[in-house]
Amino acid sequence: MKTGVVFDIKRYALHDGPGIRTTVFFKGCPLRCVWCHNPEGQSPFPELLVRPARCLEACHLCLETCPETAALKVQNVVRVDRRRCRVCGSCADSCPSEALALVGRRLSVEEAAEEIFRDEPFFRQSGGGVTFSGGEPLMQAEFLAELLRACRSRGVHTAVDTSGHVPWMSLESIREDVGLFLYDLKMMDDRRHRELTGVTNAVILENLVRLVRSGSRVVVRLPLLKGVNDGPDHVEAAAQRLSRLGGIERVDLLSYHALGRDKYGRLSRPEWAADFFPPTPGDLERIKKRIQAFGLEVRLGG
């Protein structure tokens, strides 16, 4: 039985496909979007999250537990020497205040499916199901494929939220077990796409065409940041391309939010290079109308 690394399972999600959904977040992503709000989804491996503000002054449990002497206290606050840390998770298990936490746990297909199936009554009542997200779920394509098969054989609706930056073979291998693809399109200009995500958009655009032509149901999601990709150059180029392609179920406009900002420090990662802002509600309405003018159905939010 395959195993995979998952960093979160969120119940009662309302924006990741139809009805009430359970969203399973896979670890590992081939993109490095400069605005990423899930930086803990980028590395394929488990990571140690440190929240010094939660550390209890009189406690030294992690120092006693750590086999590598990587957990330290500086001025009564926990610090982790990342060069020594092996991410074994012992300190997180012993921490009474969740100042230390392990993100990413390895689950078998059976274990993950069991967690998903717990919510079946909500799926049935609401027309919902499970959404596989990340990170990029197709980075763990075999684990994902087995989970999708398990869900489909149980009659649970499945959605996959993908960056599209994956080998076509991976998409092809899961296509028939996916009820709906949520397909991200971040930037139409390839040079800007490379600057902002670290990868070309050529594979993403190519896979989108193949996916739609193969008959899969696809909702395209446009994450929008003010002054970055909310201008006509991106929005109209995307709308034009999608309307020519035909067969897209809908376009969802996802407004940027900064909720992931604190996570960078907790993972000892460099901070964001720039401040980003969401488009205003007026901007979003204008963008919606512009895309609708190309004959596409558009929704604000996921």
Stretch in the footprint of ligand SF4 (CB under 6 A) among 20-28, 81-89, 223-231, 243-251: 81-89
Do 205 and 70 contact (CB within 8 A), yes or no?
A: no
Q: Should residue 219 be labelled a site residue for ligand SF4 when binding is judged by CB under 6 A? A: no
- Binding residue (CB under 6 A) for ligand SF4 from 48, 148, 178, 188: 48
CA atoms within 13 A on the CB side of 231: 5
Distances (CA, A) of 70 to 35, 51, 233: 30, 15, 49
Cα–Cα dist 126/37, whole Å:
28
Q: Should residue 91 be labelled a site residue for ligand SF4 when binding is judged by CB under 6 A? A: yes
- Binding residue (CB under 6 A) for ligand SF4 from 13, 34, 87, 203: 87
- Binding residue (CB under 6 A) for ligand SF4 from 56, 203, 205, 267: 56
In DSSP terms, 243 is beta-bridged to none
**Of 44 and 89, which CB lies nearer to ligand SF4 in the complex structure?**
89
CB of 6 to ligand SF4, least distance (A): 18
Other C-beta atoms lying within 10 Å of the C-beta of residue 58: 5
13: left (phi over 0), alpha (psi -120 to 50) or beta: beta
- Tell me how many residues contact ligand SF4 (CB under 6 A): 27
- Binding residue (CB under 6 A) for ligand SF4 from 68, 111, 115, 249: 68
Do 5 and 143 contact (CB within 8 A), yes or no?
A: no
Stretch in the footprint of ligand SF4 (CB under 6 A) among 53-61, 155-163, 220-228, 252-260: 53-61
**Of 94 and 214, which CB lies nearer to ligand SF4 in the complex structure?**
94
- Binding residue (CB under 6 A) for ligand SF4 from 49, 62, 174, 212: 62
Q: What angle do CA 36, 156, 206 make, to 5 degrees?
A: 45
Q: Should residue 65 be labelled a site residue for ligand SF4 when binding is judged by CB under 6 A? A: yes
- DSSP strand pairing (218-224 vs 250-255): parallel
- The mark string for 96-135 relative to ligand SF4 (x by CB under 6 A, - otherwise) is xx-xx-----------------------------------
Burial of 289 (0-12, 13-18, 19+ CB in 10 A): exposed
Residues that bind ligand SF4 (CB under 6 A): 48, 55-56, 59-62, 65-66, 68, 70-71, 78, 80, 85-91, 94-97, 99-100
